[in-house]
């Protein structure tokens, strides 16, 4: 076993270890409005959804090396609003371009060739080709010296036409294949999905009528379906 004392480890080592093991992490391409009125976009993989009641997503935005806040955090503090655009292979290259620390007055979506549309409920724009764009209002911001943990309530979702089934309920796994960040510059695409269900005996086990035999294989892998 290798052991790491996180109370003594320098921050870059903590970052490396945490992000090497906690993954794949979904990527939010966060779009905001700058003070000058242009679009700002930045990928954030310290991101996830944590609740549907209320519908809360969370971003972890680091300060820059000199301690200054990133444009995303500056814009979110000023407007109280941001949009999370999910990212698939089609948007991968643009996402990486948006991750470059450009000067504050640079319109990253324009630079990356992203077509944008006005959000409906917030003053920002979303990426038209994003499989799913979530318009968020800030619920609260938890400030650490070098990191802002931003909780956003999703107030509107716009889904690309081909991503959901005809009833608008479940994603089509052959179409919606998000990319996610692994370690360093490594990414993964969700193109090898499978179905994993609790076995039929689960209800009886939960009711305490019976118990599984330790180590007995109950896994039955199936190809993906809407879920
Ligand atoms: C895939 C990916 C994920 C990233 N995740 C984060 C993150 O969670 N938090 C963060 O502060 N920066 C993250 N970054 C770096 C920012 O995107 C980068 O600093 C960006 O230039 C910030 O832009 P802004 O100043 O317009 O906000 C990530 C970069 C990439 C490529």
Spell out the domains of the chain, with CATH numbers in brackets: 11-189 (2.30.110.10), 194-227 (no CATH)
> Does 225 score more than 90 pLDDT?
no
Q: Could you tell me whether strands 125-127 and 132-144 are parallel, antiparallel, or unpaired per DSSP bridges?
A: unpaired
Confidence of residue 210 (pLDDT cuts 50, 70, 90): confident
Q: Is 150 in the pocket of ligand 1 (CB under 6 A)?
A: no
Better-scored residue on pLDDT, 154 or 201: 154
Q: Is 70 in the pocket of ligand 1 (CB under 6 A)?
A: yes
Q: Which of 179-188, 189-198, 216-225 has the lowest mean pLDDT?
A: 216-225
In order of 181, 190, 197, 218, the CA distances from 178 in angstroms are 10, 6, 22, 28
Say if CB 222 and CB 195 are below 8 A apart.
yes
Confidence of residue 105 (pLDDT cuts 50, 70, 90): confident
CB atoms within 10 A of CB 76: 26
Instruction: Give dist(CA 116, CA 130) in Å, integer.
Output: 10
Whether residue 198 is predicted with pLDDT greater than 90 in this model: the reply is: no
The pLDDT score that the predictor gives to residue 101 is: 92
- The best mutation among 84, 85, 99, 100 to test binding of ligand 1, ranked by most ligand atoms within 8 Å of the C-beta, falls on 99
Tell me the pLDDT tens digit for each residue of 21-53: 999 999 999 999 999 999 999 999 999 999 999
Q: How far away, in angstroms, is 44 Cα from ligand 1 center?
A: 5
- pLDDT of 221 reads 64
Percent of the chain with pLDDT over 70: 95
CA distances from 194 to 21, 118, 221, 225 (A): 22, 36, 6, 8
40 C-beta closer than 6 A to ligand 1: yes
Question: pTM (2 decimals)?
Answer: 0.94
Ligand 1: does its nearest atom lie under 6 Å from the Cβ of 96?
Answer: yes
- The answer to whether the peptide bond before residue 185 is cis (omega within 30 degrees of 0) is no
> Does the pLDDT value for residue 227 go beyond 60?
no
What pLDDT score was predicted for residue 31? 98
In short, whether 44's Cβ falls inside 6 Å of ligand 1 is: yes
Q: If you average pLDDT over every residue of the chain, what do you get?
A: 94
How far, in whole angstroms, is CA 98 from its chain's centroid? Answer: 15
Q: What is the pLDDT of residues 111-164, one digit of tens each?
A: 999 999 999 999 999 999 999 999 999 999 999 999 999 999 999 999 999 999
Closest C-alpha among 154, 121, 137, 138 to residue 54: 154
Paired strand residues for 156: 135
B/e letters for 133-164, b = 16+ CB within 10 Å, e = fewer, are bbbbeeeebeeeeeebebbbbbbeebbbeebb
Q: Which two tokens stand for residue 177?
A: 């294949």
């Amino acid at each position: 076993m290798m052991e790491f004392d996180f109370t003594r480890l320098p921050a870059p080592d903590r970052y490396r270890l945490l992000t090497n093991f906690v993954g794949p992490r979904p990527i939010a391409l966060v779009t905001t409005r700058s003070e000058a009125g242009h679009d700002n976009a930045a990928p954030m993989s310290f991101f996830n959804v944590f609740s549907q009641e209320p519908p809360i997503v969370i971003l972890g935005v680091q300060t820059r090396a000199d301690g200054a806040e990133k444009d995303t955090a500056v814009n979110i503090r000023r407007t109280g609003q941001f949009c999370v655009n999910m990212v698939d292979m089609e948007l991968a290259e643009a996402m990486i371009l948006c991750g470059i620390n450009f000067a504050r007055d640079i319109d990253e979506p324009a630079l990356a060739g992203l077509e944008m549309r006005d959000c409906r409920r917030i003053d920002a724009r979303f990426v038209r080709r994003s499989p799913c764009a979530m318009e968020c209002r800030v619920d609260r911001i938890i400030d650490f010296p070098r990191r802002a943990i931003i909780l956003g309530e999703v107030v509107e979702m716009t889904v690309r036409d081909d991503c959901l089934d005809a009833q608008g309920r479940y994603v089509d796994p052959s179409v919606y294949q998000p990319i996610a960040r692994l370690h360093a510059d490594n990414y993964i695409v969700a193109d090898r999905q499978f179905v994993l269900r609790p076995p039929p005996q689960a209800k009886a086990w939960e009711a305490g009528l019976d118990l599984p035999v330790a180590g007995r294989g109950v896994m039955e892998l199936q190809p993906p379906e809407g879920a």
